[in-house]
Amino acid sequence: MTSLSPRRWLGAPWRLLRRVSRKNRILAGILGVTALAAGTLMATAPHPEPPDVEEKAWPVSAIAVQPAALAPELRLFGRVESPHHASLSSAIAAQVTAVHVREGQPVGAGQLLVSLDPAEERLRLRQAEANLADARARLATVKTEHLTHQRVLAHMQELFELTSAKAERLKNLNQRQLIATEQMENTLQDVARQGIELARQQALVEQYPQRLASAESAVDNAMAAQDNQRLNLRRTEIRAPFDGLISGLRASPGDRVGTGSELLSLYDTAALQVRAALPSGSLDSLKPALQRGLAVTAQVPGANLTLRLAELAAAVAPGRSGVDGLFRMPAGAAGLELGRAVELRLSLPAVDNVVALPPQSLYNNGRVFVIENNRLRGVEVTPLGQRTNASGELEVLVSAASLPRQARVLASSLPKATSGLLVRDVAAEVAGAPPEAAPEPSPDSPPATPQPG
């Protein structure tokens, strides 16, 4: 390997520089001077003090914690029904002559609703009356014949005894050979024939109770047929079984209806009730309240109606997890038709140590923020339900067990609500109470960083 001399080594850059064009050498010189000037300006520029960053206090509203015994409310959806919903059908085959009501019309108990042609039933009634008269005549005949049979039996008994005595005398005469044997035998034959007739007549007299019972039964059947026909004649007039409203008409004048044909339907307005499914979690408080006879009521928004929970259904409907509640409507209530879907606000039994808060106070369905020294602190709470206050505003009810006494709870919807966030209670300022002073940040310390809720 050939070593380079120092002189030759130092002359290498100059040889490389001579290879670069004159234009490029001028450009490189300009860039070098520019870089040197920029470095000099940056090195000699003044250094200002960093500005103080003041932490922002978020304006919020808050309410004071006031525990009390409050009643949660449940929002339910039910349907109006009536256990007295009657479908009136024709009990006979006849022609409809008149329909006296309209759908939706109120009717009273016993009011005539539909009239059927009574002509056929009147003819059947006349026939039933004739059959009854015939049965009664037969009964009278049986009684008369029995008297005759008794008299005939007495005569036949007397004749049989006379003939028997004659036969005994002839036997004695025949034994002494005073009369012919043929004469005695003829007399014995008469005795036998009369005995047979006497037995038959005795049987007729003894069968009188059976014939009498049969004749009396025929009279009873004829009377029943007559009563049934009179009932059918009354059935040509369809009348309302109770006070109510006509819910549907299925027949019109001129229709030929058969036995069992539906004519109309109506429901008892005094028995209206609302059936609504109750959540399973509410049964633990509702069942004891009903057993103690406490009044459990529900409001119908917009209808100014108060319904009373009368009882719970005895069975769980297929496809449901809760039990249906039956809410009785007050007497004289109007405005809720059969089958109408309604919304209910059910007031549950009151619970002690409960706080009512606006819905925006509850975060993540179980967390509220209390304001301490103008900073938020998250507290886990147990929601117990909702209610509508006297002003018609919706409130959420939470247990006050985990909330400090006299605490103020955040009542604003604050998307950035986290523990440690600096806030300013606007409600307290408006009320005239001086808000808590926020701690001034130290110049040597960085601003406080909110901790995640």
**What pLDDT is recorded for position 447?**
40
**What pLDDT is recorded for position 256?**
95
- Mean per-residue pLDDT, 382-409: 87
**What pLDDT is recorded for position 451?**
41
- CA-based radius of gyration for the chain: 56
For 171, the token pair is: 């036997």
Query: What gap in Å lies between CA 119 and CA 235, rounded to an integer?
Result: 12
Q: Comparing C-alpha atoms, which of 307, 246, 263 is closest to residue 115?
A: 263
**What pLDDT is recorded for position 318?**
76
**What pLDDT is recorded for position 89?**
95
**What pLDDT is recorded for position 439?**
38
**What residues contact residue 300 under an 8 Å CB cut-off, 6+ apart?**
306, 307, 336, 342, 343, 344, 345
- Confirm or reject CATH 2.40.30.170 for domain 73-82+272-347, answering yes or no: yes
Instruction: Using DSSP, state whether 33 is helix, strand or coil.
Output: helix
**What pLDDT is recorded for position 126?**
96
Q: Are 51 and 338 in contact (CB under 8 A)?
A: no
**What pLDDT is recorded for position 432?**
54
Query: What gap in Å lies between CA 361 and CA 171, rounded to an integer?
Result: 133
Range(s) of the chain covered by CATH 1.10.287.620: 120-234
pLDDT tops 90 at residue 321? no
pLDDT tops 80 at residue 10? no
12-26, 186-200, 235-249 — which is least confidently predicted? 12-26
Per-residue pLDDT band for 8 (boundaries 50, 70, 90) equals low
CB atoms < 10 A from the CB of 12, how many?
Answer: 10
Per-residue pLDDT band for 430 (boundaries 50, 70, 90) equals low
Range(s) of the chain covered by CATH 2.40.420: 59-71+351-430
**What residues contact residue 329 under an 8 Å CB cut-off, 6+ apart?**
272, 273, 274, 305, 307, 336
What topology is assigned to 59-71+351-430 in CATH?
2.40.420
**What pLDDT is recorded for position 338?**
87
Range(s) of the chain covered by CATH 2.40.50.100: 85-116+238-268
**What pLDDT is recorded for position 229?**
95
Q: Comparing C-alpha atoms, which of 430, 424, 432, 356 is closest to residue 65?
A: 356
What topology is assigned to 120-234 in CATH?
Helix Hairpins (1.10.287)
pLDDT tops 60 at residue 443? no
**What pLDDT is recorded for position 48?**
65
Query: What gap in Å lies between CA 23 and CA 54, rounded to an integer?
Result: 56
CB atoms < 10 A from the CB of 208, how many?
Answer: 16
Say which CATH architecture domain 85-116+238-268 belongs to.
Beta Barrel (2.40)
The β-bridge partners of 150 are none
What's the pTM value of the predicted model, to 2 decimals? 0.59
Query: What gap in Å lies between CA 6 and CA 178, rounded to an integer?
Result: 208
**What pLDDT is recorded for position 224?**
96
Q: Are 360 and 413 in contact (CB under 8 A)?
A: yes
Q: Comparing C-alpha atoms, which of 304, 441, 413, 317 is closest to residue 60?
A: 413
Q: Are 77 and 276 in contact (CB under 8 A)?
A: yes
Helix axes 181-206 and 119-175, enclosed angle (nearest 10): 150
Maximum distance among all alpha carbons in the chain? 210
Instruction: Using DSSP, state whether 61 is helix, strand or coil.
Output: coil
Q: Are 336 and 353 in contact (CB under 8 A)?
A: no
42-46, 166-170, 207-211, 387-391 — which is least confidently predicted? 42-46
pLDDT tops 70 at residue 437? no
pLDDT tops 80 at residue 349? yes
Per-residue pLDDT band for 105 (boundaries 50, 70, 90) equals very high
Give the Å distances, CA to CA, from 93 to 166, 244, 320: 72, 26, 43
* Extended strands (E) in 53-202: 58-60, 62-64, 68-70, 73-81, 85-89, 94-99, 106-107, 112-116
For 335, the token pair is: 């405005």
Angle at 30 between CA 29 and CA 36, to 5 degrees: 90
DSSP letter at 416 equals T
Range(s) of the chain covered by CATH 2.40.30.170: 73-82+272-347
pLDDT for 56-90, tens place per residue?
888 888 888 889 998 888 888 999 999 999 999 99
pLDDT tops 90 at residue 93? yes
CB atoms < 10 A from the CB of 5, how many?
Answer: 8
- Mean per-residue pLDDT, 163-169: 86
Between residues 250 and 36, which one has the greater pLDDT? 250
**What pLDDT is recorded for position 453?**
40
- Mean per-residue pLDDT, 176-187: 82
**What pLDDT is recorded for position 40?**
77
